């Protein structure tokens, strides 16, 4: 079953999402990768305001290719999320509720997800051309000097993701392969 | 002595950068379709079908298959009877520069691993030269994404570890990589040589079409056995579970020292890109 969700992702909405759910996201999301996260963390450490509204926000870990004329954005699939593990807990603490990426997260991120009520979605890695079709608007809102790594504000429509870690800490990277192997053995 | 102008090299590298990033080669496409067909796990099948849809869009619209258009790995086999007019390194880097800007590809190279300032044009390329006989130049551009590069590993095993040790290390590397390198993956393996030679062989193994087994039957069998073992791990496409964890295992091997057994595993994703031209 596919669940349609709209951003901003309130904690109530987050709580209803279960590991393995296929979702289609519509609304505003922000992009940030390593370099932008590093700057956000420096602001947090110095008690300075952030350039984006972090409350109930969703951050997509992506650095798109440049857009050709007439294109909203270039190819835009997820990057590996563990490189953001040092930064995500602080942002979740400040109110971020959604993350979109690919790959494993560490214990500190999973703890923050459970404590504050957040969700980690996976988008399909290596499907940047396909995913770019769901991005309807794109605007740089911070750190333009970072190029592809700048923070972009995106308007997405039916952007396909899967719940990889839900607010209870259930993890699809553990459950999915296990279920497959048990089923496979049973047959 | 045949003369080749540096400009010809630049133009070829430029073209190959763009083509490699937008059009997946047939061996990979055929393999992904076959895997989608045979995949018993519904979520996994669905992901493989989206991967197919993605490369079809990229083909049709000349879009990069993936936003990580990689660092440009450029392999040259230079015939010893060729003379190049102009600076070869500069010509290659100029080709990368033009390809990445003209092709709307992402610039992902930083000038220094610690100060991390983007060079803005995806140069320098990683260049690998080999001198061969003849009067031609074979150029292969293989853009390499780092989601999978970061999951690669090397081990200096003991000779007594033998084939069992080699298999264990490869399986351990794939298991630990899990969902990170965007499975289904292609596994490049280098066995033998020195520390650096093994890593080079692993990278070079990724250039071989995945429907072409190692020419030595022993290694061809090992490739087949490892592929089966990897696909029995259950990681599946994107790590969500399933049969299709790897598309292929390609092994290259080389003589080594009496005291050593180097093994390198260079992981690549389903967006395993390379395009070649001979001039
Ligand atoms: S690992 Fe491959 S498919 Fe995944 S983001 Fe990197 S280049 Fe793209």
CATH of the domain at A174: 3.20.130.10
- Which residues 77-106 of A are in CB contact (within 8 Å) with B? 77, 79-80, 82, 102-104
HEC sequence for A13-76 = HHHHCCCCCEEEEEEEEEECCHHHHHHHHHHHHCCCCCCCCCCCCEEECCCCCCCCCCCCCCCC
Residue of B nearest to A177 (CA): B241
B235 found inside a domain: yes
Domain final residue pick, B144, B179, B213: B144
By Cβ distance, the residue of A68, A82, A130 closest to B57 is A130
Contact in structure between A64 and A132 (CB atoms under 8 Å): yes
Token code pair at residue A146: 């970072």
* C-alpha span between B99 and B139 (Å, rounded): 15
For ligand 1, atom 8: residue with the closest CA: A126
pLDDT of B4 > 90? The answer is yes
Q: Order of strands, edge to edge, in the sheet holding B126-132? A: B126-132, B71-79, B137-144, B275-278
pLDDT in tens, chain A (187 residues): 799 999 999 999 999 999 999 999 999 999 999 999 999 999 999 999 999 999 999 999 999 999 998 999 999 999 999 999 999 999 999 999 999 999 999 999 999 999 999 999 999 999 999 999 999 999 999 999 999 999 999 999 999 999 999 999 999 999 999 999 999 877 6
B73 found inside a domain: yes
* Alpha-carbon distance B66 to nearest alpha carbon in chain A (angstroms): 5
**B104 with A67: Cβ contact below 8 A:** yes
Say how many domains are in chain A: 1
Residues B105, B238 share a domain: no
For ligand 1, atom 1: residue with the closest CA: B147
Q: What mean pLDDT do residues B256-278 have?
A: 98
Token code pair at residue B231: 């696909």
Residues B156, B217 share a domain: yes
- Which of A2, A127, A143 to mutate to probe the B interface, most B CBs <10 Å? A127
pLDDT of B260 > 70? The answer is yes
Domain final residue pick, B116, B144, B172: B144
B33 found inside a domain: no
Residues B69, B165 share a domain: no
* Domain coverage including residue A14: 2-186
B59 found inside a domain: no
Token code pair at residue A113: 């997800």
Q: Can you give the pLDDT at residue A146?
A: 92
B153 found inside a domain: yes
The burial class, CB within 10 Å (0-12 / 13-18 / 19+), for A11 is middle
Residues B121, B159 share a domain: no
Question: What lines the ligand 1 site, CB under 6 Å?
Answer: A 77, 125-126; B 66, 68, 145, 147-148, 181-182, 269, 271
* C-alpha span between A80 and A103 (Å, rounded): 6
Q: What mean pLDDT do residues B248-263 have?
A: 98
Q: Please confirm, yes or no, whether A168 is among the known catalytic residues.
A: no
Cis geometry, peptide bond prior to residue B184 (ω within 30 degrees of 0): yes
* Domain coverage including residue B123: 2-20+65-144
Q: What is the DSSP letter of B122?
A: -
Residues B174, B257 share a domain: yes
Residues B257, B178 share a domain: yes
Domain final residue pick, B87, B112, B144: B144
Which chain B residues contact residue A173 at CB under 8 A? 178-179, 239-240
* Alpha-carbon distance A127 to nearest alpha carbon in chain B (angstroms): 5
Please tell me the pTM assigned to this model: 0.96
The ligand 1 atom nearest the CA atom of B70? 7
Q: Where are the beta strands (DSSP E) in B80-125?
A: 82-85
**A180 with B47: Cβ contact below 8 A:** no
For residue A109, report the distance from its CA to the centre of ligand 1, in Å: 22
**B240 with A181: Cβ contact below 8 A:** no
**B178 with A125: Cβ contact below 8 A:** no
Q: What mean pLDDT do residues B212-239 have?
A: 98
Q: Which pLDDT tens digit goes with each residue over B128-187?
A: 999 999 999 999 999 999 999 999 999 999 999 999 999 999 999 999 999 999 999 999
Q: Does B44 touch chain A (CB under 8 A)?
A: yes
For residue A76, report the distance from its CA to the centre of ligand 1, in Å: 11
* C-alpha span between B94 and B9 (Å, rounded): 9
The ligand 1 atom nearest the CA atom of A126? 3
Say how many domains are in chain B: 2
Residues B138, B261 share a domain: no
B31 found inside a domain: no
Q: Where are the beta strands (DSSP E) in B10-152?
A: 71-79, 82-85, 126-132, 137-144
B25 found inside a domain: no
* C-alpha span between B23 and B57 (Å, rounded): 10
B44 found inside a domain: no
CA quadruple A72, A83, A123, A22: dihedral, nearest 10:
-140
């Amino acid at each position: 079953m596919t669940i349609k969700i709209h951003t901003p992702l309130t904690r109530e909405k987050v709580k209803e999402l279960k590991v393995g759910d296929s979702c289609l996201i519509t609304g505003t999301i922000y992009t940030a990768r390593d370099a932008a996260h590093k700057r956000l963390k420096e602001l947090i450490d110095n008690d300075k305001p952030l350039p984006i509204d972090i409350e109930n926000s969703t951050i997509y870990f992506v650095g798109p290719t440049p857009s050709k004329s007439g294109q909203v954005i270039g190819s835009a699939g997820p990057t590996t999320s563990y490189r953001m593990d040092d930064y995500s807990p602080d942002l979740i603490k400040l109110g971020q509720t959604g993350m979109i990426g690919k790959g494993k997260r560490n214990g500190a991120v999973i703890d923050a997800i459970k404590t504050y009520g957040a969700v980690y979605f996976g988008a399909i890695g290596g499907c940047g051309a396909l995913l770019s079709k769901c991005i309807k608007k794109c605007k740089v809102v911070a750190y333009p000097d970072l190029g592809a790594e700048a923070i972009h504000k995106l308007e997405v429509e039916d952007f396909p993701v899967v719940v990889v870690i839900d607010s209870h800490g259930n993890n699809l990277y553990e459950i999915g392969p296990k279920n497959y192997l048990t089923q496979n053995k049973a047959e | 002595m045949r003369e080749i102008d540096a400009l010809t090299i630049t133009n070829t590298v430029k073209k190959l950068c763009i083509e490699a990033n937008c059009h997946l080669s047939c061996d990979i496409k055929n393999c992904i379709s076959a895997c989608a067909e045979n995949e018993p796990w519904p979520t996994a099948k669905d992901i493989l079908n989206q991967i197919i849809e993605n490369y079809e869009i990229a083909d049709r619209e000349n879009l990069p298959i993936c936003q990580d258009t990689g660092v440009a790995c450029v392999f040259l086999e230079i015939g010893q009877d060729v003379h190049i007019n102009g600076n070869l390194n500069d010509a290659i880097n100029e080709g990368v520069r033009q390809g990445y800007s003209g092709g709307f590809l992402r610039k992902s190279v930083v000038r220094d691993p610690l100060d991390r300032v983007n060079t803005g044009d995806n140069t320098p390329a990683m260049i690998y030269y080999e001198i061969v006989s003849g009067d031609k130049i074979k150029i292969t551009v293989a853009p390499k994404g780092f989601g999978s590069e970061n999951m690669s590993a090397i081990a200096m095993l003991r000779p007594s570890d033998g084939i069992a040790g080699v298999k264990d290390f490869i399986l351990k590397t794939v298991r630990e990589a899990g969902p990170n390198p965007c499975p289904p993956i292609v596994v490049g393996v280098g066995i033998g040589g020195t520390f650096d030679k093994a890593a080079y062989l692993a990278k070079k193994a990724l250039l071989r079409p995945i429907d072409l087994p190692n020419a030595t039957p022993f290694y061809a069998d090992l490739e087949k056995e490892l592929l089966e073992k990897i696909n029995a791990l259950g990681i599946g496409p994107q790590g969500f579970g399933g049969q299709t964890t790897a598309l292929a295992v390609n092994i290259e091997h080389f003589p080594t020292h009496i005291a050593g057994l180097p093994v390198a595993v260079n992981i690549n994703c389903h967006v395993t890109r390379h395009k070649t031209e001979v001039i």
